[in-house]
Amino acid sequence: MKVTIKKTGINGEGIGYIDRMPVFVPQALIGEEVEIRIVDKQKRYATAELLRVVKSSKNRIRPKCFIQNTCGACPLMIARYPAQLEYKQDLLKQSLIKYAQIDPRKVARVKASEDVFGYRNQFKLPCAMEEGRLVSGLFMPNSNYFIDVKKCWIHEDGLERIRMDIMRVLNTHGCESYNPHDKKGIRNLVVRGFDNRYQCTLVTGNDELDERLISDLMRIKGLTSLWQSIHTIKKTPEVFGNKMIHLAGETSLAMELDGLKLRISPRSFFQLNSKQAVQLYRTIASMVKEDNELIVEAYSGIGAISLYLKDKAKEIIGIESIKDAVVNANQNAALNGCEHVSFLCDDAANKLTYLSKKRSIDVLVVDPPRSGLDDAMLDCILRSKIKSIIYVSCNPATLGKNLAVLSSRYNVDRIQPIDMFPHTPHTEAIALLCRK
């Protein structure tokens, strides 16, 4: 069976049509004629396996990673980078038109990533036993099949070196992968790094790690912070457990970003692409006028955006529900001499409701998780008199749905996408909303 690919799907797959039914074909690009085999047929769509590319796209290239097809993390690595940016822009426009009827002319061109390989500053990888050795890797999408990742091309070079060094030490000490029956072993390896300084968290069962193992790990060049996270809960998407144990080195990871001094704890969120994070913050700052009285940031994380806007308002308040991140954020405010910037640990909707009743808010910055703004947050914003909103989103679908709700009180001025994740279908979008 043959089909011509007409669109790119939200997961980076090609979409063709058979009798008006969309057929999702992984590893296929727009404009290609492909031979396929239907592997799953539902009432409204079908999923197919690519058997052969009959007519290839001019944008198709050989992927740099030899497990690209099985890993599934970088579905667009088969396309030239300029084409990837076009696919991402189209996906964003499609979602905004579908859910919020946004004029596509308001969507600017995607800002390309300076690095298309070696850009990730963090990984969270599961561990497994392969031929008697502990390895780190990935599970194939929608399966329990584990892939031993020998090299990840999108990880920063030093991050990959640290990963190999850590795995070597763990194997030297005879460490094994997590066993759910006795609740012991290495479950996940989490490492983040900036400027050749790295923080490692071993996510384990109820293990008491040997002091010699800890000592050998801390001898790895560049490893400055070592933590353990106890995680024994079954079938959860959470990588970290509730119990965190500081094993050695510094308690947080230091970095400097475009003049900002920041410290980050293991569970605190930070953008995965450091260079593009600078582009993100500069773009946000360009959307904020000068001489504001009060700026509020919801889902403020370690406070990087609020601190980047430090010269834009007399007072800035960040709201974040994760305690570790709030501690980091207030430390970061002190590190940068920003007495007028403070961070509160609270639910975003609850605290914003309180603040908006007591104070006049000039600018609200929101950077929610992929699920977007919940109903309580949307209702709070609509009831407030906030003058302008900057919405930072990593999910075009939830951005579109949220903008549709907010459109009753706000006009969408412009939207700037930024490519934080080359070779994936994901992009970050910054929307500026002004009150009607």
Answer yes or no: do 5 and 103 share one domain: no
Instruction: Give the helix ranges, DSSP H, for 235-364.
Output: 274-286, 304-308, 323-335, 348-358
Segment 374-411, tens digit of pLDDT: 999 999 999 999 999 999 999 999 999 999 999 999 99
**145 is annotated as contributing to ligand binding:** no
219 and 286, same domain (yes or no): no
Active site residue 394: yes
Tell me phi and psi for residue 10, to 5 degrees: -65, -20
Model's pTM, two decimal places? 0.93
The phi and psi torsions of 432 (rounded to 5 degrees) equal -100, 125
Separation CA 229–CA 335 (nearest Å): 27
Query: What domain range includes position 220?
Result: 122-256
Helix (H, G, I), strand (E, B) or coil at 276: helix
According to the annotation, is 238 in a ligand binding site?
no
Q: Which of 410, 345, 412, 404 is nearest to 383 (CA)?
A: 410
Instruction: Looking at the structure, tell me whether residues 110 and 126 fall in a common domain.
Output: no
**pLDDT on residue 235:** 84
Domain CATH for 391: 3.40.50.150
| Catalytic hit among 200, 338, 394, 434 | 394
Is 299 annotated to bind ligand? yes
Q: How confident is the model at residue 218 (pLDDT cuts 50, 70, 90)?
A: very high
Is residue 99 within a helix (H) or strand (E), and if so which, with residue range? helix 81-100
Task: Write the CATH number for 20.
Answer: 2.40.50.140
In a domain, 73, yes or no: no
| pLDDT tens-digit map of 22-71 | 999 999 999 999 999 999 999 999 999 999 999 999 999 999 999 999 99
Asked whether residue 44 falls in the same domain as residue 109, the answer is no
